[in-house]
Chain A
Amino acid sequence: MEDEAPGNGTGNAGAMGKKGVPEWLNSSLWASSSSPPASASTTAAACLFRSPPSPKPEAPKRAPIPEPGSPPSPKPEAPTRASIPEPPRPPQPPSEAPRPSVEAPPDDRSPSRLSQEEVSRQSQLLAELSKKVVNIGELRRLASQGIPDDTGIRSIVWKLLLGYLPYDREFWMQELAKKRSQYKAFKEEFLMNPSEMARRLEESAGHKNEELETGGRGFLMRSEITHDEHPLSLGKTSVWNQFFQETETIEQIERDVKRTHPDMQFFCGDSSLAKSNQEALRHILIIFAKLNPGIRYVQGMNELLAPLFYVFRNDPDQNNAAYAEADAFFCFVELLSGFRDNFCQKLDNSVVGIRSTISKLSELLKKHDGELWRHLEITTKVNPQFYAFRWITLLLTQEFNFVDSLHIWDALLSDPDGPQDTLLRVCCAMLILVRKRLLAGDFTSNLKLLQNYPQTNIDHLLYVANKLRGSSAG
């Protein structure tokens, strides 16, 4: 029986191929992938095997399929399997028609790297992005399911979600030009050291300085200093004094930039790429600190900036990638505007501060999993501040590997509830997913587990977080 099935399956497919071919088989989806048009059931089966075993939003459709690990399943299933993908497929062809000439990346790679579902998501995203006015609600819905990596879509989607790009495509060029030149002005204003500033002032005032080699002897002319502008000035308005006072912040920024993601070639190392990326990060953080004297620079901001800069810098569109620094700056400002209060020490104990956010998380956990909450907080006395502080302030960038954290950020940025609430739900989901281990553990082991969160399937995590939606806690 085991031997018959494959043969029969192929036989069936062959027969199907010769007779009237189903509509979905002819869709451009199949044509774009570089693999030869394999027999229907084999391709379908192959794709289905690759779908992750975890439950997904489309799970109900997959129910009738036998567990993916068993190819030679009873033959009557073969035609059923082949037809299962049908429901999601038919909507595809019409929306693909307006697909832009952006070469669909699946062209470049074999279909075995992308699952069926990812390919469809990608084309849906591309379709949405190519519209004249992007429907932000639809984009959010699509993005929250995850944006495919390495395709450059993420860069544009994040810019749209963070409000950097306007929804109407027509205005993209002028908005981008405006913002980028504004950033350039910021750089000139804030990144100059006082020497250069003095020199510029001189040149504009038309002073001529003495040339050493022009021969002749004589005493050098002395000129007056205006406004106490000398390097040792202690005056509050002196650019020199301000410069020296900021050196502490700048040193802190430099130290943190050097430590950002030390395992990634992109950020760390001796290559000129790493150095220029570190420069860019440093510039952005310095300008942010100078523009926001209330909050300046706090350790951790570099971690929030890193994914933004990485995504924008790796945009396949060379023009966008060149301006990654300016784009990342504005998106960073936007992202931080929601989370500023977490970084302000004075607000720690206030209603908007980090302590209150952590207690919201606690409430959320209590609501959804009272047993776990009681065990964590009361029995083992694991104060959520010990683990949740880093989760929340750094938006989970430190808990998962880089690629996974990009996926989480897809969900955080696209959720209409807003990143703060979504973050709390994801954190709650993280706790619930390891509940067995937590319930069995004591203070030490629980803390150890939560501070070194184990690698998980992100899709599953986001699915659980999604399920926790509903009336928000308190």
Chain B
Amino acid sequence: MVLVLAIGDLHIPHRAPDLPAKFKSMLVPGKIQHILCTGNLCIKEVHDYLKSLSPDLHITRGEYDEDVRNPENKTLTIGQFKLGLCHGHQIVPWGDLDSLAMLQRQLDVDILVTGHTHQFKAYKHEGGVVINPGSATGAYSSITYDVNPSFVLMDIDGLRVVVYVYELIDGEVKVDKIDFKKTATTQSAH
């Protein structure tokens, strides 16, 4: 039972002052084992805050991040799953699922976590699953102002993943979940 937080595109302080209070009250240390952050935090204070939630923090670089040392892509293995992380502004057209699928095949991962569009998405294709946690602060994106704050928590348990989607809609936290699993055979390399 491994809890992995996927979060990103906070754009603090440029586009939003802070995480919504209801999100902050839920995100307490001690529960989450890993954090995958898509990028665009943008400042060190946010980095420190995320670090306090979990010791294992992975960030990829977004185009507005002040810390330029983060990589463009990252891959890691958690349990039986290979996860990939990328901010997504590099993939053109932005948010295009076929292009993201290409990146996923390149990175050879089961689950790809990307952001930039500030819209939650969970999409499945032959190569695996793409998850976009959206923007945790509800910051406006390059495409639209109509953004609901959202983030994703994945519960990886053996060969099964339960994805909990947390969205703030009209001031209330709404939680949905998505269930998927992979078969035990190794993924074929492309």
Contact = CB atoms under 8 A, between A and B. Distances in A.
Interface of A: 193-196, 198-199, 202, 207, 209-213, 215-225, 228, 230-234, 244, 247
A247 B32 CA distance: 13
Contact of B126 (A198, A217, A232): A217
A218 B180 CA distance: 13
Interface in B138-187: 153, 155, 157, 160, 162-166, 175-183, 185, 187
Interface residues of B, number: 38
B129 interface: yes
Interface of B: 1, 3, 25-28, 30-31, 97, 110, 121-126, 128-129, 153, 155, 157, 160, 162-166, 175-183, 185, 187
Contacts of A218: 123-124
Q: Is the interface of A mostly helix, strand, loop or mixed?
A: loop
A225 B176 contact: yes
Contact of A230 (B175, B178, B181, B187): B175
Nearest to A209: B179
A222 B165 contact: yes
A209 B160 contact: yes
Contact of A212 (B3, B122, B178, B181): B181
B120 to A, nearest CB: 9
Q: DSSP class of B's interface residues: helix, strand, loop or mixed?
A: strand
Contact of A222 (B30, B110, B122, B157): B122
Contacts of A233: 26
Q: What 10 pairs across the A-B complex have the smallest Cβ distances? A: A209-B179, A195-B1, A210-B180, A232-B26, A212-B182, A195-B157, A222-B176, A220-B122, A217-B125, A225-B175
A300 B136 CA distance: 45
Contact of A221 (B30, B160, B178, B185): B178
B176 A232 contact: no
Contacts of B165: 222
Contacts of B157: 195-196, 199
Contact of B176 (A215, A223, A244): A223
B55 to A, nearest CB: 16
A232 B26 CA distance: 6
A222 B178 contact: yes
27 contacts: A199-B160, A209-B179, A210-B124, A211-B183, A212-B124, A212-B128, A212-B180, A213-B183, A213-B185, A213-B187, A217-B125, A220-B122, A220-B123, A220-B124, A220-B129, A220-B163, A220-B178, A221-B178, A222-B177, A224-B176, A225-B175, A225-B177, A230-B164, A231-B3, A231-B153, A232-B164, A244-B31
